[in-house]
């Protein structure tokens, strides 16, 4: 029954998106004449930022809170298991969440904007964002490698494990701060530009293009990531308006049935370290 329900919600999502696109296209002539009136509708790009930052905060907080359990000499089997959970959480953040964001931004979002931007604007800002994103990617992969090595190393003394964990937490903090700075700067620049350069119907068409670009599994995981990003519980990184936009753009059956199912199927075990006390 549940897979059938999921399939039905996907069909509903497609119909809702199509209806919104048609309504937006009906007003596209007016919006093209006055692009400043367009609202920003590429919410998935922002929701992805919120999701990545929230995951990094949860990773940092739980690594700090579980420090003694992660490096316990008295309960080594449980410590080994917990370190593996942390490794899987980092892999999820880097390989799933962040990698998908970077793929869409690099392959679709920045080229989409660049086609409308003057050449000097592309050189002065779009290229800077691209280079900074690549730099953060390198740091994220370095963090993943460091956590993987730490999680599998056989420490003779707990203080050795704790010392490396301290360095890892410091690296997470630095990565989170740098990512937050880049995301905020990108949003401050690109959100007004998108509203100015593209009508709402064009933005919705771009959203459809993104769905065609990524796989079905990635689309489902994205909705789970986005829901986490707009979550108003601790740690709060979203605004109430982000949650309102999510509830407006994503049909209720998908929010209530699809997202919990996909979370359990695709994400649950990977994020266990982030969610369990």
Q: pLDDT at position 272, please?
A: 96
Residue 127 is predicted with a pLDDT of: 79
Cα torsion at 225, 261, 58, 168 (round to 10°)? Answer: -90
**Angle subtended by helix axes 127-152 and 76-91, to nearest 10:** 160
The tokens for 245 are 């936009």
**Tell me, what's the pLDDT at 157?**
84
Cα–Cα dist 206/42, whole Å: 8
Determine whether 143 is exposed, middle or buried from the number of CB atoms within 10 Å of its CB (0-12, 13-18, 19+).
Answer: buried
pLDDT tens digit string along 65-121?
999 999 987 777 889 999 999 999 999 999 999 999 999 999 999 999 988 877 766
> In the structure encoding, which two tokens stand for residue 60, read together?
């940092």
Distance CA 199, CA 32 (A): 6
Tens-level pLDDT at each residue, the chain (277 residues)? 334 444 554 455 555 555 554 554 444 444 443 445 689 999 999 999 999 999 999 999 999 999 999 998 777 788 999 999 999 999 999 999 999 999 999 999 999 998 887 776 666 777 788 889 999 999 999 999 999 999 999 888 889 999 999 999 999 999 999 999 999 999 998 999 999 999 999 999 999 999 999 999 999 999 999 999 999 888 888 889 999 999 999 999 999 999 999 999 999 999 999 998 8
- Nearest Cα neighbor of 207 from 41, 47, 46, 96 is 41
Spatial distance between the Cα atoms of 152 and 97, rounded to a whole number of angstroms:
23
- 8 Å CB contact between 113 and 126: yes
The fold of 2-17+43-275 is 1.20.120
pLDDT in the model for residue 123? 66
The per-residue pLDDT for 20 is 53
Instruction: Give the per-residue pLDDT at 73.
Output: 75
> What is the reported pTM?
0.86
Domain map of the chain by residue range? 2-17+43-275
Q: What is the pLDDT of residue 218?
A: 95
Query: Exposed, middle or buried, 74 (CB in 10 Å: 0-12/13-18/19+)?
Result: exposed
Distance CA 187, CA 176 (A): 16
């Amino acid at each position: 029954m549940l897979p059938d329900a999921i399939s039905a919600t996907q069909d509903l999502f497609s119909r809702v998106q199509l209806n919104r696109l048609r309504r937006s296209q009906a007003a596209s002539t007016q919006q093209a004449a006055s692009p400043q009136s367009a609202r920003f509708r590429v919410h998935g790009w922002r929701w992805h930022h919120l999701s990545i930052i929230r995951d990094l905060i949860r990773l940092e907080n739980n690594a700090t809170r579980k420090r003694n359990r992660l490096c316990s000499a008295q309960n080594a089997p449980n410590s080994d298991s917990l370190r593996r959970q942390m490794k899987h959480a980092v892999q999820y953040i880097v390989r799933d969440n962040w990698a998908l964001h970077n793929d869409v931004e690099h392959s679709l979002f920045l080229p989409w904007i660049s086609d409308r931007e003057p050449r000097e604007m592309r050189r002065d800002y779009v290229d800077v964002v691209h280079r900074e994103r690549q730099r953060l990617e390198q740091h994220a992969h370095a963090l993943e490698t460091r956590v993987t090595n730490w999680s599998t190393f056989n420490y003779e003394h707990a203080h050795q494990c704790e010392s490396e964990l301290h360095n890892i937490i410091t690296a997470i903090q630095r990565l989170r701060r740098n990512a937050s700075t880049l995301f905020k700067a990108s949003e401050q620049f690109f959100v007004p530009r998108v509203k100015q350069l593209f009508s709402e119907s064009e933005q919705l068409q771009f959203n459809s293009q993104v769905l065609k670009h990524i796989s079905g599994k990635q689309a489902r995981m994205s909705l789970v990531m986005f829901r986490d990003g707009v979550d108003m519980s601790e740690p709060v990184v979203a605004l109430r308006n982000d949650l309102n936009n999510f509830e407006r753009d994503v049909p209720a059956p998908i929010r209530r049935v699809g997202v919990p199912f996909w979370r359990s199927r695709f994400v649950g075990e990977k994020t266990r370290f982030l969610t369990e006390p």
